[in-house]
A = this chain, B = another copy of it.
Amino acid sequence: MKNLKDEVNFRIKIGGENLCVAIAQDFETGEVLMTAFMNKEALEKTLDKGTMHYYSTSRKKIWNKGEESGHVQKVKDVLIDCDGDALLFKVAQSKAACHKGYYTCFFRRLDKSGALKIDRKRVFNPDEVY
């Protein structure tokens, strides 16, 4: 059978970096928590340490998720899509994924009027964490 690392296609080029999409999904509830990019090093760190590491395209460096806040994402399962440029990680989320204090970064929902509504409660106060 094929090896994961050989199958990932880091075809997404942003700022000179070769990337794939990484999606974090709660392994118990199925909630999509966030999405970001990974380069080869971020993927290797994620697989080696068992916690999510992304590549920050704005800061242009490896982003060890939860390093500052303690809100780590422990990897439970790894899936790869058909063309290899996206990975789906089922994770155990500590406290919350979003730096704005919500469990998922997708905390705003489009309502029928075309407006965005926040339909969740914060689980922490960002001012106390960052």
- A32-B32, A35-B21, A98-B82 given as contacts; is B109 within 8 A of A77 (CB)? yes
Identify A106's interface contact among B7, B81, B107, CB under 8 A. Answer: B81
Distance, CA A35 to CA B23, complexed state (A):
9
Q: Which residues of B contact A105 (CB under 8 A)?
A: 81-83, 86
A129 at the interface (CB under 8 A from B): no
Contact flags A58-90 to B (C-beta < 8 A → 1, else 0): 000000000000000000011111110010100
Size bracket of the A interface: 35 or more
B82 with A115: CB separation less than 8 A: no
Distance, CA A117 to CA B77, complexed state (A):
12
Interface residues of A in 2-58 (CB under 8 A from B): 2-4, 7, 12-14, 21, 23, 25, 29-32, 34-35, 57
A95 at the interface (CB under 8 A from B): no
Q: Which residues of B contact A1 (CB under 8 A)?
A: 115-117
- A–B Cβ pairs within 8 angstroms, 26 of them: A1-B115, A1-B117, A2-B115, A3-B114, A4-B114, A7-B116, A12-B14, A21-B21, A23-B35, A25-B32, A30-B30, A30-B31, A32-B32, A34-B81, A77-B110, A80-B106, A80-B110, A80-B116, A81-B105, A82-B98, A82-B99, A82-B100, A82-B102, A82-B105, A86-B105, A86-B106
